[in-house]
Amino acid sequence: MMINSRCNAFAAQLGCATVLMMLAPVMGEATTVEEDMVWTGGLRQAYFGDRPITQSDDLIVLDAPNRAEDAAIVPISITAQIPQTDERYIKTIHLFIDKNPGPLVGTFHFTPKSGRADLALRVRVNAYGPIRAIAETSDGELFMSRRFIKATGGCSAPAGSDLDAAMARLGKIKLRTNSVARLAQPTAAQLMISHPNLNGMQMDQVTHLYAPAHFVRHVKVRFDGEEIFSAETGIGISENPIFRFFFVPDSEGQLTAEVTDTQGLQFRQTLQVVPVGTLR
Amino acid sequence: MLQLTFALCAFSCRAVPVQTPESCSPSTGVVQVAAGVYVRPGHAAVVFEGDEIANIGFVVGDRCVAVIDTGGSLAEGQALDCAIREVTERPVCYVINTHVHPDHLLGNLAFKRPGVEFVGHAKLPRALAMRGDTYLERASAYESRALHESIFVFPERTLTSVIQLDIGERVLTVRAHKSAHTDHDISVVDEKTKTAFLGDLVFLEHLPVIDGSINGWIGELEAMTSESLAYVVPGHGPVRALWPSAAEPTLQYLTGLRENVRAWIASGGDLASAQDNIDQPRSEEWLLFDRYQRRNVGAAYAELEWED
């Protein structure tokens, strides 16, 4: 029996290795044309029609891990390559994960008051595939930064690990600045929302009904009444959504975050910001 | 050793055993770790990248047999079933799943028959439903065949605290834990020999993997160390270890990781940078560190950032 087991294990390894060797050249040659089938096959047209989109990292750079260790929490960031000026700024960033059930993860809006159209957040990744951020400038141009993510890890599933903890804290919001706020300088801020962000695809095994989707739908952040960041979001956002963005405090003022979910629940948090250099 | 393996394989691969309903291929390496308590040893590997990964086993009572975890595939479950028949003619009456992870649970189907009751944590069905699609896809790819969701066998009896199962002059204490390795861990104590199957509440050799709550896990393990047990069967690592010393490596890793991640959060570092930079605590004991450390840092970070 010992012999058999070793043999089986060895044969399995051999089989696996052989299969991998056979697949390797194919995978190596996999062109972006094949990878982009979901995008070119309808997604692009549905959201942008025939508008030209420049694929380059000149306007924004999307940063994502090559391999997502935990498909439920994949940290990604977008870094703007231009400042937000009144003359020209990044107005909107659309984020897509092609192979997710809802490919549009969210639409994020910025203003000149944002200072920088940088954004960091966490997303769910269902399968190997492209992730793309498309920035729209105030003068109507579209630029796309694209990366490829491997979702992996056998235990991973694009759902959270402790739903009950998230549910118990539902609606709790943490809002803070991530660096010392300086007068008239772009300052990083972080908004954390405790929310299970249920995607509506979890079947109740007793009733065989799907638990209704329940997720954060809308986020709006203002500084002293003026909008600096807002977002429409979907089920591609991880449980307990978190957003990092910038704003320019041109005086002492109040940072206000308003969050609405798909059940119409509203959550709100404020933070008093006193920038260094403010005359008091 | 490698050459020997090659030689053995080359020899035995020619002889294809005849499979009849009466004959089957039992799991190999099954050892009796206490009177009537058997374990099929696992070998550290990433899920869906290897076979026989977790320690799984069974306890033989005067009336029937309780299986604790069934392995990573139907074939593994069938081999365990076969190994049971080599030890006893008594029927299997319970399959207890310690948690949802596929290396422990995907052999369930091998035991789905009249007279066998599946037992699990009350949160196991939800956890399996949430992960089912992913598991199905990965298992189908690994086994190179299209699997159907019928491979998932859900528990018929679920628990939220403690129950006892009598398998004939032998009582098993089955305990549902608070969120720890997962949010639905189960441990099983054979009261006759004071041997405990701890599932993945305890890892040895294989790096602990967080899929529940790092704070909860540390809390559960610390509380359990005062229990008087003769032996424990960890979910990964040697088939038998002493208690409470078996808990130490897992506890040391988790508390060390928590300290590092808390410090990272306090310094304003984000999740991505935490994953890129936190490579401690690391000890030579841990296998698969490079495969699971980033995941653990992420899971710990996402939990600890909500601490006040």
Task: Identify the burial level of B98 via C-beta atoms within 10 angstroms of its C-beta, where 0-12 means exposed, 13-18 middle and 19 or more buried.
Answer: buried
CA distance A2 to chain B (A): 6
pLDDT band at A199 (very low <50, low <70, confident <90, very high): confident
User: Which of B154, B264, B270, B292 to mutate to probe the A interface, most A CBs <10 Å?
Assistant: B270
Average pLDDT score over chain B: 91
pLDDT at A27: 40
Contact between chains at B9 and A6 (C-beta distance less than 8 A): yes
Cα separation, B157 vs B174, whole angstroms? 12
Going from the N-terminus, what domains does chain B have, and what CATH number goes with each? 25-245 (3.60.15.10)
Is the CB of A161 less than 8 angstroms away from the CB of B129?
A: no
Res A159: pLDDT: 59
Residue with tokens 């993997």: B209
Chosen for mutation from A161, A191, A197 (greatest number of chain B CBs closer than 10 Å) is A161
User: What is the pLDDT confidence band of residue A136, given thresholds at 50, 70 and 90?
Assistant: very high
pLDDT number for residue A128: 84
State residue A278's pLDDT score.
73
Is the predicted pLDDT of residue B1 greater than 80, yes or no? Answer: no
B303 CB neighbours in chain A (<8 A) are: 162, 165
A244 inside 8 A of chain B by CB: yes
CB-closest option in A10, A164, A238 to B9: A10
Query: Which chain A residue has the Cα nearest residue B135?
Result: A154
Which of B83, B47, B79 lies closest to B65 in space, CA to CA? Answer: B83
DSSP class of B28: S
Phi/psi of residue B286, nearest 5 degrees? -75, 120
**pLDDT value at residue A204:** 57
Higher pLDDT, A63 or A166: A63
pLDDT tops 60 at residue A118 = yes
DSSP letter for each residue of A142-193 = EEEEEEEEEE--TT--SS-S-HHHHHHTTT-EEEEESS--BTTS-EEEEEEE
pLDDT given at position B132: 86
- A194-203, A245-254, B133-142: segment of lowest average pLDDT: A194-203
Q: Is A169 on the interface with B (CB under 8 A)?
A: yes
When pLDDT is cut at 50, 70 and 90, the band that residue A44 belongs to is: very high
pLDDT of A71 above 90? no
Q: pLDDT grade, residue A15 (50/70/90)?
A: very low
Nearest to B281 by CA among B248, B258, B247: B258
Helix axes B289-304, B248-266, angle to 10 degrees: 60
Dist CA A94 CA B238 (whole Å): 50
Share of chain B above pLDDT 70, in %: 93
Task: Report pLDDT digits (tens) over B6-34.
Answer: 333 333 333 334 344 457 899 989 999 99
pLDDT computed for residue B197 by the predictor: 98
- Look up residue B127 and give its amino acid: A
Residue A201's pLDDT is 63
Answer with the residue of higher pLDDT: B116 or A198: B116
The SS3 call for residue A29 is helix
**Residue numbers in B near A7 (CB within 8 A):** 8-9, 12-13
Mutate to test the interface with B, among A123, A155, A199 (most CBs of B within 10 A): A155
When pLDDT is averaged across residues B117-128 and rounded to a whole number, the result is 94
- Does pLDDT of A25 surpass 80? no
Question: Among the ranges A76-80, A161-165, B149-153, which has the highest mean pLDDT value?
Answer: A76-80
User: B244: cis peptide before it, omega within 30°?
Assistant: yes
Give the number of A-B residue pairs with CB atoms closer than 8 Å. 134
Rg of chain A over all Cα atoms, to the nearest angstrom: 22
Q: Cβ of B268 and A178 within 8 Å?
A: yes
Flag whether residue A159 sits within 8 Å of chain B, measured between CB atoms.
yes
State mean pLDDT over B96-107.
Answer: 97
ipTM here: 0.81
Whether residue A21 is predicted with pLDDT greater than 50 in this model: the reply is no
User: Minimal Cα distance from A16: which residue of B?
Assistant: B142
pLDDT in tens, B133-173: 889 888 999 999 999 988 999 999 999 999 999 999 999 99
Residue-wise pLDDT tens digits, B49-100: 999 999 999 999 999 999 999 999 999 999 999 999 999 999 999 999 999 9
* Amino acid A26: pLDDT: 39
Q: What is the pLDDT of residue A264?
A: 94
Two tokens at B190? 């054979």
A200 pLDDT exceeds 90?
Answer: no
What's the fold here for domain A32-273? Answer: Immunoglobulin-like (2.60.40)
Domains of chain A, by residue range, sit at 32-273
Q: Do A164 and B179 touch (CB under 8 A)?
A: yes
More confident residue, A34 or A120: A120
pTM value is: 0.85
Q: What is the DSSP string of A97-112?
A: ETTSSS-EEEEEEE-G
As a whole-number percent, the residues of chain A with pLDDT over 90 amount to 61
Q: What is the rounded distance in angstroms from the CA atom of residue B126 to the CA atom of residue A250? A: 49
Average pLDDT over residues B261-267: 96
**Helix axis angle, B214-224 relative to B248-266, nearest 10°?**
150
Give the pLDDT score at A58.
93
In the predicted model, what is the mean pLDDT of chain A?
A: 83
